[in-house]
Chain A
Amino acid sequence: MSWGVNWKASVGLLGVGIKYLAVTMLVPLVVAVVYGEDVWVFLVSLALVAGIGFAVERVDPDPDLGPREALLFVSLAWLAAAVIGTVPYLLAGYGTASTVGLQTGSFGAFSESIINALFESMSGFTTTGATVLGEISTDRHSHALLMWRQLTQWLGGMGIIVLMIAILPEVAVNGAQLMESEAPGPELQKLTPRIAETARALWLIYFGFTVVYIAILYGLHLGGMAPNMDLYNAVAHGFTTLPTGGFSPEADSIAAFSAAVQWVVIPFMLVAGVNFALFWHVLRGEAEVMLENAEFRAYAGALAVVTAVLAVLLFRGAAPPIELGGATEGVTENALRQAAFQIGSLLNSTGYATADFAQWDTHAQVLLLFAMFIGGSAGSTGGGVKVVRWLIVGKTIRRELFTTAHPDVVRPVRLGGNVVDEDAIRGIMVFTLLYVVLFALSAVFIALDTARIGIQLSVLESISASLATIGNIGPGFGRLGPFGSYEFFSNASKLLMIFLMWVGRLEIVPVLAVFISAIDSR
């Protein structure tokens, strides 16, 4: 018996994934054709990526994955997707002033451009939504490239592994193990006996919501209620709302659109933070499963409470009357809309904005920071710690306090009538602690490293830089606000944040488990 990992099997299977990732580049290619833009960027990217895929696949043409290989594969798959995703960025910006374009002038510029592209790509696939793109506009970047940026979030949303399981039989064989490592939340819910069907069901629900959403957005445009929401924008935002992504081809994010659009975006952002398995039950006519779900109730409750508090703060003047977002003091509709939008966006890690909350008063910002800590539901596309984990952590702490006074009492932790397994509790406690430790250490590192290059970050900025990347949220505070950029960070900080986005999306454990397993088996 070997403690080692058969990396060839993991890498071989990776080739299959990369091959299919090339196919998705047809979408921006079509956009390029429609807008009469340079088609060579995506043609070359497509050929290059397909070539890499076929080459990598030959490492092990008949991969057989065990549990460790599955962990390695899932970890690598997300890294590989991010690396592959840089190709269009690098090519499209080659020779231009784009921050993500390949620069060949000096080694410094070369490495920075590659790191920038990787940051943008990782931020896309992990549905973070943090950007280093610099100026976001279709004047600077092609429609096709910005659509690719949106598409990466849509692919990453329900999970690239889940997508692979759904459509590739060679991956579905080891599907349950793979999905377990990727799926957000503490445990895998099998909806059907076959894992591939479960994956397909989840993707179909995801796809269905996306289609309906795009139709509504475009419908508003046709109905004259959303002048800026043309078909391109409707599709582009359709790609980043359901995956709790947050990228927008508009520099002003959702603030570029009418109030009607903003009201439509809110419910779809909220939907994205719900466990998609619950929608499957609703579609089967079992709506009570959703309504009785403890996590769903807590998620809805948290949203309602935090939104209400924020709305009151805004109504009482926590936001200066800024250009984007408008005055909220004493304006009920706007205060409520801004509160619901920002909470809906940050609580479940989407990262859109309709107001520059980086300019709000500190007490309102701290409330947003609190919302960022909550995260979406398990089995949703949202990031963060996840509501269900906080519920179990809270209940476990309560249990421990009670049994300290009554040492003989046996008290299982219950969630919605079901007993939570002690092993699961241990896993959740470890995860939550890891999350907090990693977040705190990274905040310290980012603050020190940024001071090194001569920029003083505020406490709120350092904390939000770390939290927004590990939680796959996107925007932070101060310079990192919704209309700001992560461009000014040093390479070291950017690399750390790329790592945080990566482990944050995979919920830390798979990636670290692979590392620890590799170190301990020496």
Chain B
Amino acid sequence: MHVVIVGAGEVGTSIAASLAPDHEVVVVDVDPDRAEQLKYELDVLTIAGDGTTAGIQTAADVGDADMVIACTDDDRTNLVTCGTAKTLGDAFTIARVKSTEYLRTWEDTRGAFGVDFMVCTDLLTAQNIVRVIGLPAAIDVDPFASGLVQMAEFEISAESPVAGQTVSEADRFESLTFVGIFRNGEMIIPRGDTDIGAGDRAVVIGSPESVQSFANDVAPETTPDRADEIVIVGGSEIGYQTARLLEERDFTPRLIERDPGRARTLAEDLPNTVVMEHDATDTEFLSREHVDEADIVVTALGSDEQNLLVSVLAKRLGVDRVIAVVDSPDYVTVFEEIGIDIAINPRTVTAEEITRFTYESIAENIAVLENDQAEVLELELTEGSRFAGRSIAELVEETDVRFVIGAITRDHALVTPRGDTVLEPGDHVVLLVDSDSVSEIASMA
């Protein structure tokens, strides 16, 4: 595969490093020194110049490229790069953005900016944080349908209250579907009367809220519930997105932001978050507001130094779990060595997401389960789809492929699939399917 990467920062370099062994990689960067340097660090071709221009892109042979990854630090540069690439050839374009507004625009109007896949750094980081906070018991978690739907896989321990129940007993949630159970390495398509035993791995698909509640049933000890106190320090975009995602999962976090204007904006956008305007490094304030009694503290301030300071303070005050956002990848280990529970680096997260995406299928958002026994796919139904106009019961009847529809989103709203739910063109369907039948199902949609 011929891959062109525009932007040789930490994200670009990291992606280039993981792709270089198997693919033909060209890296473009505006900084000639950086381009020169990278030539020796990695086994890739480097070009110095403005990656948004047709001239430089032609030099990088974008016209014949299979994939263009725009991952500079600047959103607009990345979007223009993808736009230019689309006019030169038909490479699959991936853009990294910070702004969630661009992500929303792109999601609402598929193909906007000539971008085929968009990775939003801050949102992705927040999703990671929320997964770490909310679903520590899950083996695997993946968002689908721009976050409206979540897939999670849990291992049922012997102590779990769910062990010994049937599927219909365990599935108390309106918008949650059991799509698969793995027992002794075998996949079982669950029915209402299927027993769930200790040692089973259950895969569920549903709204983030219902998955969160289910996690509470599966592992009440480790999963935080509504009563748990979550404090986010710093109202950066990551802090904001984390609070928003936590709100979606029915938590009521507290968020501390120093700047009065920003605090006001955050308070307006986050109806279920208690926003406090204060300097979080003020220990007197932290003890006055009983931050020491918090179960989880997330630090998402502007600089690593501040995050370090607040994380250490929180740990010293006696907070159970402290999660820190660390901007510089080099410091991640430092943070974890001095006792911070989890350090998350946005660039690493982004690079991993893009790399994962290039490894997996290009066409669809997927998750691979249990050594590729089954896959969870998100399919957008087209006008001519064989799924459209059929009810789910009819589809199951007509095909002999093993699949379970876990969730449907229609006009950005979740529709809980039932036997009599009729699918429509434009629906996004999230389903679990036997790995052998992936292409068959994909061709039907």
Contacts and interface: CB of A to CB of B under 8 A. Distances in A.
Contacts of A419: 268
Contact of B285 (A408, A410, A412): A408
Interface string A368-399: 00000000000000000000000000000000
Contacts of B289: 406, 408
Interface string B275-308: 1111000000100010000000000000000000
A406 B274 CA distance: 10
A305 interface: no
B271 A417 contact: yes
Interface in A399-444: 406, 408-412, 414, 417, 419
B271 A410 contact: no
Contacts of A408: 276-278, 285, 289
Contacts of B260: 410
Nearest to A402: B274
A36 to B, nearest CB: 64
A406 B285 CA distance: 11
B196 interface: no
B262 to A, nearest CB: 10
Interface in B243-289: 260, 263-264, 266-268, 271, 274-278, 285, 289
B302 to A, nearest CB: 19
Nearest to B266: A410
B272 to A, nearest CB: 11
B95 to A, nearest CB: 32
A411 B266 CA distance: 10
B271 A409 contact: no
B268 A409 contact: no
A412 B272 CA distance: 11
Nearest to B264: A410
Contact of B264 (A406, A412, A414, A417): A412
Interface residues of A, number: 9
A519 B278 CA distance: 43
Chain A contact residues: over half helix, strand or loop, or mixed?
loop
A419 B269 CA distance: 9
Interface string B176-211: 000000000000000000000000000000000000
Nearest to B235: A410
A401 to B, nearest CB: 15
Interface residues of B, number: 14
B264 A409 contact: no
A72 to B, nearest CB: 35
A412 B269 CA distance: 10
Contacts of A414: 271
Contacts of A410: 260, 263-264, 266-267, 275-277
A417 B268 CA distance: 10
Nearest to B255: A410
A412 B277 contact: no
A411 B273 CA distance: 9
With a 10 A CB-CB cut-off, give which of B266, B267, B285 has the most chain A CB atoms.
B267
A83 B302 CA distance: 65
Contacts of A406: 276, 289
B110 to A, nearest CB: 26
Contacts of A411: 267, 274-275
Contacts of B266: 410
B275 to A, nearest CB: 5
A412 B267 contact: yes
Interface string B36-62: 000000000000000000000000000
Nearest to A411: B267
B268 A412 contact: yes
A231 B271 CA distance: 54
A512 to B, nearest CB: 30
B273 to A, nearest CB: 10
With a 10 A CB-CB cut-off, give which of A409, A417, A419 has the most chain B CB atoms.
A409
Contacts of B263: 410
A406 B276 CA distance: 9
A21 B278 CA distance: 59
Contacts of A417: 271
B282 to A, nearest CB: 10
Nearest to B256: A408
A408 B289 CA distance: 9
A411 B268 CA distance: 8
A419 B267 CA distance: 9
B172 to A, nearest CB: 28
B296 to A, nearest CB: 19
A444 B302 CA distance: 60
B75 to A, nearest CB: 27
With a 10 A CB-CB cut-off, give which of B268, B276, B285 has the most chain A CB atoms.
B268
Nearest to B257: A410
B293 to A, nearest CB: 15
A410 B289 CA distance: 14
A374 to B, nearest CB: 26
A412 B265 CA distance: 9
A411 B267 CA distance: 6
B279 to A, nearest CB: 10
14 contacts: A406-B276, A406-B289, A408-B276, A408-B277, A408-B289, A409-B275, A409-B276, A410-B264, A410-B266, A410-B267, A410-B277, A412-B264, A414-B271, A419-B268
Closest 10 pairs (CB-CB, A-B): A408-B276, A410-B267, A419-B268, A408-B278, A410-B275, A410-B263, A412-B268, A410-B277, A412-B267, A409-B276
Given A408-B285, A409-B276, A411-B274, 6 more contacts: A408-B278, A409-B275, A410-B263, A410-B275, A411-B267, A412-B264
